[in-house]
Amino acid sequence: MERVGDEMVRTALYEAANILLSRRTRFSALKRWGLEVAERRGLKRAKVAVARKLAVILHPTFRWTKTEGAQA
């Protein structure tokens, strides 16, 4: 499978998923779902799945236009 998108964004999402699944953080529906995926498919695939779900959750909050304070 070909990787698309910004490599730094993919890395940040994967690291966030890693922290969410591996460290003792407050339990959430996303963490529960990721741990269920890990039981079925393995931890590496679960991290990728959680990273993708995080991207889907965060995408609507991303602003495509420049902010008012940005210089051209």
Q: Is the pLDDT of residue 1 over 80?
A: no
Amino acid identity for residue 17 in this structure:
A
pLDDT in tens, 14-68: 999 999 999 887 888 999 999 999 999 999 999 999 999 999 988 877 776 766 5
Which pLDDT score, from 0 to 100, does residue 15 have? 96
Sequential DSSP letters for 46-63: HHHHHHHHHHHHHGGG--
Q: Tokens 């909050």 identify what position? A: 61
Sorted by where each begins, the domain ranges of the chain are 7-61
Which pLDDT score, from 0 to 100, does residue 60 have? 78
Closest CA to 51 of 21, 22, 16: 16
Q: Could you tell me the pTM of the whole model?
A: 0.76
Q: What sign for the dihedral angle of Cα 53, 28, 19, 45?
A: negative
Show the tokens assigned to 53: 């779900």
Which pLDDT score, from 0 to 100, does residue 33 have? 95
